[in-house]
Structure 1
Amino acid sequence: MKPDSATPSRETRGRVVMLVDNGVKGDSRVQKAARSAAEAGWDVVLFGVSPTVKMQKWKLGDAEVRLIPKPAHLEPRRHDLRRPLLRRPLAYRSQQVARYRVQAAKAWRSDLAFRQAAIRASEAGHPGNSAGGSKARLLVPRVSAKVFSKWVALRARETRLLHKQRNPLTAPLDRTVTALWSKLLGERSWRRLMPNLWDFELAFAKHIDDLQPDLIHAHDFKMLGVGARAAVRARAKGRPVKLVWDAHEFVPGLPEYHGRWLPGHVAWEKEHAVFADAVITVSPSLAEMLKEGHGLRELPAVVLNAPVMKPGADEVEGAAPLGDLRELCGIGDATPLLAYVGGISPVRGVETIIEGLPSLPDVHVALVSVTPGKMKAVASTQKLANDLGVADRVHFLPFVPHWQVPEFLSDADAAVSPLHHLTNHELALSNKFFEYSQARLPLIVSDIRTMADMVKSTGQGEVFRARDTEDFVRATKAVLADPVRYENAYEKPGLLEGWTWEAQAEIIDGIYSELLPDRPRRSPAEPDGSGAEDVKNTKGSDAASV
């Protein structure tokens, strides 16, 4: 057995390799899945993408995280590697070449200016005449450098225009080529449309193979292909590896980054979906679409993005005490307070909340949205609040660990999810929906399909038309006028108990156990007294940074 596939130090039910195409730390679903699988007795190694050229390792409970460096050698597009003779014959082959030429021209002219200055300095009696030469000697180089600079500037401008034209890959020629490859190769067309998907395969393949997993859990569409290929390699060698595909999003509904991104990824997913032994996803509506779109034999199991209610001992030990939400906002118990958790971007609809505040004169809003490196979105929201004269009622707070969110928000009067209409928004029940629910807050949600239908069926809140500020104000006033009416929805037996990660983890473990029937589930363990406790008991009494 290879060194990397050594027998784990603790007795386990089998080895599970999880795959995700990010750095893990910002992906709560993946973290929860790895932790809970390890707690259920599986030997879990979670592979993600390293942000550096070195592998990084740490532990999530009993699960091990390994971030693998992923060179992007296939990232450049083929047309960037050859001369654009037909579109813009004067352009350079790539922007990198253009930048090099422009800089070289500047360097030449700078050097000639230095030499000319050296001549003048020498004539004034300063040392260094040899560096300058003579004025006559510099005449031809100066004229040549000027002509060369203009020529380079022309070609660089043509290159920029070419890049602007090429980058979206939506020009008639690009669309024709994309359609041609899609028609000719079908599910295999990603090899021409998105060849950089190979970079994931080439980075991860050896690491997966060395571990010789019993089961591969591939999170989302990019890692589906990597996991499928690893499973096929193992099966060809006589090892019946099982593959679980965890579909987080509906790929055809994702935004198009360029004209080949979407058809390339759709083809990649289509080719590899057939190798999955089981499929899980995030909502019933997405499960139906996946079954129909990929001709799956069975409806995918639904594993909701529900919050952890019993965090691990290591999480509790390392977490700072929670501050009081109202104290952090500088308001008392009588002040109406709305809560929003999540990133700030145009499609998330936060501006609808801010625009509604002038019509809600006593209402404050806590935006638990601040993360390092994301201050541009916060700044634009602050500007909007200033322009509307409501900045004193908009409170920007840092993110808290995912398992602390329900308790942190529990002092608010209501929570808002103002998402705009996008395909994947329509299909999802987001993390924040369940976090808000576990905080037992009345909800004010936009009319994106799945979430709106759930709120209407449970009675836990009001629905407003997305991007409609006036209707948002109406819904908010209704909720704040009679919050108990909506809070009573949470008294339905079994509702909140089913909306926990602990309940979802049982579904995942059941799938693993069904795929590997010789690895039976363990009997429920007695509490170990390690410090992990129900999240509702973890709130600190001291105000602190969150």
Structure 2
Amino acid sequence: MTEGLRAPAHVLILAGSESSGGGLDGNSRALRVANAARTAGYRVTLLGPAPATVTPEGVDVRQVTVRETLGGQRARRPRPGLRWPLAYRSAAAYDHRTALLAAERALITTRTAELDIVHRPLPLLAAARTGHTLAWLRHGLRAGWTRLRAAQYLAAVRRRENPVAPLDNFVTEVTRLLLGRRAWRRLDPGLLDEEVAYGPVLDAVRPHLIHALGHRALGVATRAALRAEGAGHRIEVVWDAPPRTPAASRRAAVAGEAHERTFAPAADGVITVGEGLARELRVRHRLSATPAVVRNAPPLVTAAPASSAAHPAGIRARCHLAPDIPLLVHTGPVTPDRGPVTVVEALPKLYDLHAAFVVPDPAHPHLRELRERAAQLGVHGRLHVLPYVPVDEIPRFLASADIGVLPVHQLPHHQTVLATRYFEYAHARLPVVVSDVRAMAAATLELGNGEVFRARDTADFVRAVGAVLTNPRRYRKAYDRTDVLRQWSWQTESTPLLDLYTRLLGPRP
């Protein structure tokens, strides 16, 4: 415990790239923690990736860019081996040769036009055209060779970015057996890119407590605390552990597990977002105490959110929809495991229903695929994509919709916790339609604020949406019958967090 502090203790919230898909602007957890710590009297610094255009009052915000120098090396310089022997050896060589080919083609095409329009005596014209034909032949041969090497290079890059072949898994297992907990350094050097970006800032700021959001930030915070302690300055580390999402490959899974096992026991305090996850973390890392549960719920606002369809800040107004047109909303990143395809494929069967997706990046490739699917079904005019709004405006922004949906798939990280979006829908007083994942289905059936459908079942999703649209007032009343919104509020949820800060830092000012 840090004692005898004359000034307010300094808390730094470290929002690494893992927990900041939309930068600090889209990281509701980081912004709410920063607000809670500032309100409690601590001096607060918020450190994370850009953008950070909306920041809490009284909080020192520092933006950092993580350059993928180490993590991107595998893709920039793939090892072609026997499978792709002709591939370019680096991204620089690939870029140079393909650009040179394009420039050469432009010059030859220009020469073709010149020969057609510039008058020359017949003998000179014949010689010029013969030379030009030979130039086209040389270009054709060079283009074929360059495209062959480029295709092999791109195939090698795809293999390095998605190491899922049996040989990749074999190398991963050998690395795990030989290096043990240190395997993450070899298998995921991108973790050290974050050290290079965030480490110097942490060493310069020297807070009294680092609140590390996510698995990747934990290692950066722990190493900074060790360096500070070596220099005579004590830093407490609080690990804010989210659910573990499925890794894209065996390599990524082993690296993440090794990294977490290395640094989790060193945390001075651990919090997470659900009781089941807290028990799992204690067993997995043999923690001395069960982590405190701090759900990422919005703050409770005394007045109900403005639900008028004419409200200029509402989602209905942003979609240019009249009050009588039904509108459902899906917030958060659009990835396949979140079930957005279920929503789009249900639109042809729901007639005039519109669907709005509020996302951190409207240009994301998954959204392009979603739009293409909507166009195939003839419902692209009823699909709306909107960017994130400031975190403190989310419930008010969503309130003019008719339904909030969470069509997530049956995966372990969806089963045990209530998603942040669930709480945001609740504070907007929206009826919900959720898939039958354990935690959200149980909460919905108990409260009566929506309908549950079978995950990935479009027909059952249509049934659930139809049931809510038939009598939406019945589902909205569920929020008035109990004190659930006060229980699901940041004012309530942040109490265990501030109690942990007090235990580690001493009495608050």
Instruction: Rate the CA distance shift 1:497–1:139 in 2: closer, same or farther, 3 A.
Output: closer
Instruction: Rate the CA distance shift 1:124–1:395 in 2: closer, same or farther, 3 A.
Output: closer
Residue equivalent to 1:536: none
Q: Secondary structure at the match of 2:62?
A: strand
Q: Give the whole-Å Cα distance in 2 for the aligned partners of 1:84 and 1:77.
A: 14
Is residue 444 of structure 2 the alignment partner of residue 455 of structure 1? yes
Match among 210, 220, 224 for residue 218 of structure 2: 224
- Decide whether the 8 Å contact of 2:238 with 2:269 is kept in 1: yes
Is residue 406 of structure 2 the alignment partner of residue 417 of structure 1? yes
* Alpha-carbon shift at residue 412 of structure 1 (Å): 4.4
Q: Secondary structure at the match of 1:330?
A: coil
Q: Deviation string for 1:225-269 (max 9, x for gaps)? A: 10010111122333221100111231xx3240x552222122112
- Decide whether the 8 Å contact of 1:444 with 1:461 is kept in 2: yes
Is residue 29 of structure 2 the alignment partner of residue 33 of structure 1? no
Which structure would you say has the larger Rg? 1
- Decide whether the 8 Å contact of 2:221 with 2:237 is kept in 1: yes
* Alpha-carbon shift at residue 183 of structure 1 (Å): 1.1
- Decide whether the 8 Å contact of 1:92 with 1:98 is kept in 2: yes
Residue equivalent to 1:5: none
Residue equivalent to 2:260: 269
Q: Secondary structure at the match of 1:183?
A: helix
- Decide whether the 8 Å contact of 2:332 with 2:360 is kept in 1: no
Q: Deviation string for 1:86-112 (max 9, x for gaps)? A: 444333323432342454466678879
Residue equivalent to 2:10: 15
Is residue 88 of structure 2 the alignment partner of residue 96 of structure 1? no
Q: Secondary structure at the match of 1:44?
A: strand
Q: Give the whole-Å Cα distance in 1 for the aligned partners of 2:28 and 2:164.
A: 35
- Decide whether the 8 Å contact of 1:366 with 1:397 is kept in 2: no
Q: Secondary structure at the match of 2:41?
A: coil
Instruction: Rate the CA distance shift 1:359–1:246 in 2: closer, same or farther, 3 A.
Output: same
- Decide whether the 8 Å contact of 1:19 with 1:217 is kept in 2: yes
Q: Give the whole-Å Cα distance in 2 for the aligned partners of 1:166 and 1:345.
A: 22
Q: Give the whole-Å Cα distance in 2 for the aligned partners of 1:242 and 1:381.
A: 44
Residue type matched to 1:453 in 2? A
Instruction: Rate the CA distance shift 1:274–1:469 in 2: closer, same or farther, 3 A.
Output: same
* Alpha-carbon shift at residue 115 of structure 1 (Å): 9.7
Match among 66, 69, 75 for residue 70 of structure 1: 66
Q: Deviation string for 1:457-490 (max 9, x for gaps)? A: 3333221101212222332344344545544443
Q: Deviation string for 1:380-424 (max 9, x for gaps)? A: 556655665666766665544332332344444443222222332
Match among 238, 241, 244 for residue 244 of structure 1: 238
Residue equivalent to 1:49: 49
Q: Give the whole-Å Cα distance in 2 for the aligned partners of 1:507 and 1:462.
A: 31
Residue equivalent to 2:468: 479
Residue equivalent to 1:306: 297
Q: Give the whole-Å Cα distance in 2 for the aligned partners of 1:178 and 1:153.
A: 32
- Decide whether the 8 Å contact of 1:285 with 1:450 is kept in 2: no
Matched-pair identity in %: 37
- Decide whether the 8 Å contact of 1:14 with 1:42 is kept in 2: yes
**Could you tell me the TM-score, scaled by structure 1's length?**
0.76
* Alpha-carbon shift at residue 445 of structure 1 (Å): 1.1
Q: Give the whole-Å Cα distance in 2 for the aligned partners of 1:489 and 1:113.
A: 70
- Decide whether the 8 Å contact of 1:57 with 1:64 is kept in 2: no
Q: Show structure 1 runs of 5+ residues with no match.
A: 1-7, 312-319, 523-546
* Alpha-carbon shift at residue 201 of structure 1 (Å): 0.8
Residue equivalent to 1:496: 485
Q: Give the whole-Å Cα distance in 1 for the aligned partners of 2:147 and 2:318.
A: 58
Is residue 163 of structure 2 the alignment partner of residue 169 of structure 1? yes
Residue equivalent to 2:322: 331
* Alpha-carbon shift at residue 516 of structure 1 (Å): 1.2
Q: Show structure 2 runs of 5+ residues with no match.
A: 303-310
- Decide whether the 8 Å contact of 1:364 with 1:394 is kept in 2: no
Residue type matched to 1:204 in 2? Y
Instruction: Rate the CA distance shift 1:146–1:213 in 2: closer, same or farther, 3 A.
Output: same
Q: Secondary structure at the match of 1:25?
A: helix
Q: Give the whole-Å Cα distance in 2 for the aligned partners of 1:147 and 1:391.
A: 44
Q: Give the whole-Å Cα distance in 1 for the aligned partners of 2:85 and 2:300.
A: 62
Q: Secondary structure at the match of 1:100?
A: helix
CA RMSD between the two structures: 4.0
- Decide whether the 8 Å contact of 2:78 with 2:160 is kept in 1: no
Q: Deviation string for 1:400-459 (max 9, x for gaps)? A: 433233234444444322222233222332222112212333322111122112222333
Is residue 349 of structure 2 the alignment partner of residue 349 of structure 1? no
Is residue 241 of structure 2 the alignment partner of residue 254 of structure 1? no
Q: Give the whole-Å Cα distance in 2 for the aligned partners of 1:200 and 1:115.
A: 50
Q: Give the whole-Å Cα distance in 1 for the aligned partners of 2:55 and 2:384.
A: 34
Instruction: Rate the CA distance shift 1:161–1:197 in 2: closer, same or farther, 3 A.
Output: same
Q: Give the whole-Å Cα distance in 2 for the aligned partners of 1:223 and 1:201.
A: 9
Residue equivalent to 1:60: 56
Q: Give the whole-Å Cα distance in 2 for the aligned partners of 1:233 and 1:400.
A: 38
Q: Secondary structure at the match of 2:266?
A: coil
Moved more, 485-494 or 30-39: 485-494
Moved more, 74-83 or 505-514: 74-83
Match among 277, 283, 308 for residue 286 of structure 1: 277
- Decide whether the 8 Å contact of 2:346 with 2:458 is kept in 1: yes
* Alpha-carbon shift at residue 114 of structure 1 (Å): 8.9
Q: Give the whole-Å Cα distance in 1 for the aligned partners of 2:487 and 2:367.
A: 34
* Alpha-carbon shift at residue 507 of structure 1 (Å): 2.3
Residue equivalent to 1:537: none
- Decide whether the 8 Å contact of 1:340 with 1:417 is kept in 2: yes
Residue equivalent to 1:532: none
Instruction: Rate the CA distance shift 1:134–1:460 in 2: closer, same or farther, 3 A.
Output: closer
Q: Give the whole-Å Cα distance in 2 for the aligned partners of 1:490 and 1:120.
A: 77
- Decide whether the 8 Å contact of 2:408 with 2:414 is kept in 1: yes
Is residue 176 of structure 2 the alignment partner of residue 189 of structure 1? no
Q: Deviation string for 1:22-41 (max 9, x for gaps)? A: 43111111111112211211
Match among 180, 195, 200 for residue 201 of structure 1: 195
* Alpha-carbon shift at residue 134 of structure 1 (Å): 11
Is residue 508 of structure 2 the alignment partner of residue 521 of structure 1? yes
Instruction: Rate the CA distance shift 1:382–1:92 in 2: closer, same or farther, 3 A.
Output: closer
Moved more, 88-97 or 430-439: 88-97
Q: Secondary structure at the match of 1:274?
A: helix
Is residue 499 of structure 2 the alignment partner of residue 510 of structure 1? yes
Q: Give the whole-Å Cα distance in 1 for the aligned partners of 2:295 and 2:493.
A: 6
* Alpha-carbon shift at residue 117 of structure 1 (Å): 11
Residue type matched to 1:16 in 2? V
